[in-house]
A and B are shown apart, each in its own frame.
Chain A
Amino acid sequence: MSVPNELITRTAAELADALAAGETTSVELTQVHLDRIAAVDGDADAGVHAFLHVDPEGALAQAAESDARRAAGETRHLLDGVPIAVKDVLATQGLPTTCGSKILEGWVPPYDATVVRRIKDAGLPILGKTNMDEFAMGSSTEHSAYGPTRNPWDQTRIPGGSGGGSAAAVAAFEAPLALGTDTGGSIRQPGAVTGTVGVKPTYGGVSRYGLVALANSLDQVGPVTRTVLDSALLHELIGGHDPLDSTSVDVPVGAYVEAARAGATGDLKGLKVGVIKELAGDGWQPGVMARFAETVDLLKELGAEVTEISCPTFVHAMATYYLILPAECSSNLAKFDAMRYGLRVVPEGDPSAEAVMKATRDAGFGDEVKRRIMIGTYALSSGYYDAYYGQAQKVRTLISRDFAAAFEQVDVLVSPTAPTTAFPLGEKLDDPLAMYLQDLATIPANLAGVPGISVPAGLAEEDGLPVGFQVLAPALADDRLYRVGAAVEAALTSRWGGPILAKAPTLEVAR
């Protein structure tokens, strides 16, 4: 098993073609990925540890059904039979869903998230559930109660977060596709530091029903893949109105695949690109800025008109985010009280329900979760609401206005996805503010609800680790992300002579 099967290195689009051509079967594809997981994923102590739960039986059964459909000429979707990994924050009927928290250990949802329903209905076998920071709070996946995920590029480093599991699974060829969620960068920043592609769709573009909410007004489900085209394929599948999510917008899903194919031709003539002035400077790693500058030059070569755009309120995005998010999550996480499901800690004696709730929450939540519950509770308290939560909502409006003003001048905005490359495990664990700064460039999009993509921009000079290039578009103009993202990807892949992940080290087989 130490020689990986060649199939796992193919893109989802290529695998779909191979299935259609009868060159392989879904069972074979699923099995080679399960083998890869068995070979490299390891556990909390060693290996990539992208998965919290692997479901070989379920995945192979779904694969067999897919093959039967294909044989009967009843294939449901282009991706029917292509396996996928799902972030553990999405409810999966019959599969454990822990959100990376001890408080949900052993919980098996009786229902599917809408996006999970859609991938199941389309016939994608679910390989398992991927690791994440507890309740998606973090930028390194170190806050998982089940141990960290390790970056396939360097297993002493973080894979980003909160969706480090989904990004690492795709980067380590354990899955061709994964679902992630992005509240302040949890899809894009892991994409950047693992050399993969991640998309945060327009708020409301993809159903949140069954996504265990971190911050309802910021969360969005999106694709995690190795190529822009694969993201477009997955985005078209999971996107679109859901009557179970009142905040999902009732407009047709965009032509993302078409946009990605158009972008891959490399023609960006007439495209107006704005470089966000505020997302640079102190604290930005020189190697990251160098790759970013090169990519901006590349856009010019492809015909785009590039200007610098100032979004002055973006400097307040971090403070705004860390009031709105804790406020919403302090309320969302109240339901974890041991009364109906999940962990239940019963203190000695004859405890009241309140005492059981307290003991369970004390034992079941990690420090970062407790920190945010406390901040949020404080921010919503009577007498402080106006000064904190109320004020943050006003700043949020100003940030949206900055975006609106910018998009009057340009078609897309660009920045580095994250200020640094992957940092060593443990480096920022005791410094929450330093950790929070990882999301400096990704947070504004969540606050304004606009879509963003991160595509690989190469490796930083100083450490040889991946750098992400972020593209932001106006709400509901997600197709622009795919056009620009695919153009960058095509040009750089050709410059590098192959995909960036070909430069990643061959993974040691975990014991």
Chain B
Amino acid sequence: MTDVLVPFDEVIEKFDPALGLEIHVELNTNTKMFCGCPATFGGEPNTQVCPTCLGLPGAMPVVNGKAVESAIRIGLALNCEIAEWCRFARKNYFYPDMPKNFQTSQYDEPIAFEGYLDVEVEGETFRIEIERAHMEEDTGKSSHVGGSDGRIHGADYSLVDYNRAGIPLIEIVTKPILGTGDKAPLVAKAYVSAIRDLIVALGVSDARMDQGSIRADVNLSLAPKGSDVLGTRSETKNVNSLRSVERAVRFEMSRHAGILGAGGFVLQETRHFHENDGSTSSGREKSDAEDYRYFPEPDLVPVAPSREWVEELRATLPENPAAKRARLQADYGFSDLEMRDVWAAGALGLIEETVAQGTAPQSARKWWVAELLRRANDAGVELAEVGVTPQQVAEVQALVDAKTINDKIARQVFDGLIAGEGTPEQIIEKRGLALVSDDGPLLAAIDDALAAQPDVADKIRGGNMGAIGAIIGAVMKATRGQADAARVRELVLEKLS
């Protein structure tokens, strides 16, 4: 069945969207949630396992204290209440990548609850209410071999890697987000982005959406405009980039409107997001028959963080993001307009990291918001995923400051960095991009240029400084751009004085 998609503007005319986001954050603890296995990403399959995370008969879980600490810090940063007493629960369902056929999670007693996070979209602030943030363990990872699309249907066989089984996760669940109207896709994106920034600032996760250390499930429903009853929701699973979050919301709004507009009913189901065309397709239907039979995990004792500990952790929280934004704007001397562009580009954190490496704020802003944003947009990726790190931007700017290269050549260095050609120095070396620092070749080129344009030389002698540009241009051309324009100007003036 082909989806009938209603144009976005028409959706907004007739319907109010309700958003809900569930974000899974993989913590960067040394060990897993309930055992001592390493929690690092990327080991050989099934090498980071033990009786506990393999769910062998008789093995028992022990709670990772560091994971509890991270959960509390995330909860505090989300302005949540921290439970004085909470328990783990078993979520029972059968699946080959779940070693015990139940996931040890939290159910009606989460460690953190009733919080909020403010996000800003086009100058408007939206308060996203957080229902809960709870601790759980990740499952193993299935790969379906054979078949066309790597999905289980049509596969010849499946492999399971249990290295991921038991990695600590924090699941952050919002309350229904209402009143976002046409900004719903942007609010969803801004929220996930804000969560990511917060997680980075807390240092509790690698926060790599591309590696799945932050995964978003996007719930969306539509209700007729003005109605106060929520519509039936769809749950788009594992949307793994900020851009995809926005696209998934947009697509689901158009799809729901198509169904509702034709008098149909939206199915409550999970959906898969497709990066290639931004569409979603039906996963499994989530009927009321699905019953996880939650009950308190009898192998674990309750987690009861003392108030003293909670207050100690509160003192370790990074600066509030809004306050930090205002502070950085003042420190960096960015105008309101510049700041808005920086924020819209998702560049503030990157600029901050670049400045931390010694780069002037305006130079950092120029590279990220002008040059690199354009490249990210062209490639259809987030700025952070453009392929250049803050450290590299700082290195490039340092080379510009040292007059080893100029801004124009710097762009070629970025080309090389994105192409993976090595460090900035290696790229300059390989591509022969260094500025001509020896005056000899420059003087020769100047002589050639003056001889070729005698009328221009006269104008300069006559005090027409604007004419000097023609000589500098000719020298730059002769040196294939590798001359320092300011030095050329100095040399021309010396020669003609």
Contacts and interface: CB of A to CB of B under 8 A. Distances in A.
Are the chains A and B members of one assembly? yes
B58 A357 contact: no
Contact of A381 (B94, B100, B101, B291): B291
Contacts of B54: 340
B99 interface: yes
A109 B295 contact: no
Given A216-B299, A244-B62, A246-B299, A334 B94 contact: yes
Contacts of A109: 51, 56-58
A209 B56 contact: no
B58 to A, nearest CB: 4
A246 B160 contact: no
B61 interface: yes
A217 interface: yes
Interface string A198-216: 0000000000111111011
A213 B293 contact: no
A260 B263 CA distance: 80
6 contacts: A208-B299, A327-B295, A330-B92, A334-B92, A337-B94, A337-B101
Interface string B269-295: 000000000000000000000010111
A113 interface: yes
A354 interface: yes
A210 B160 CA distance: 24
A335 B291 contact: no
Q: Which of B57, B101, B295: most chain A CB closer than 10 A? A: B57
A407 interface: no
Nearest to A215: B298
Chain A CB within 10 Å, residue with most, of B58, B102, B160: B58
A16 interface: no
B379 interface: no
Tell me what chain A mostly uses at the interface: helix, strand, loop, or mixed. loop
B299 A247 contact: yes
Interface string A96-136: 01010000100101110100000000000000000000000
B59 A380 contact: no
Contacts of A97: 57-58
Contacts of B61: 246
Interface of A: 90-91, 97, 99, 104, 107, 109-111, 113, 208-213, 215-217, 243-247, 327-328, 330-331, 334-337, 339-341, 353-354, 357, 377, 380-382, 385, 389
Contacts of B62: 243-246
Contact of B59 (A111, A243, A339, A340): A111
A246 B57 contact: no
Interface in B91-122: 92, 94, 96, 99-102
A340 B99 contact: yes
Contact of B99 (A209, A335, A354): A335
- Give the most central of B54, B59, B62, B63: most A CB within 10 Å: B59
Nearest to A245: B60
B60 A341 contact: no
Contact of B301 (A247, A354, A357): A247
A271 B90 CA distance: 44
B58 A380 contact: no
B158 interface: yes
Given A331-B90, A334-B102, A380 B299 contact: no
Given A246-B301, A377-B293, A110 B51 contact: yes
Interface string B141-168: 0000000000000000010100000000
B298 A217 contact: yes
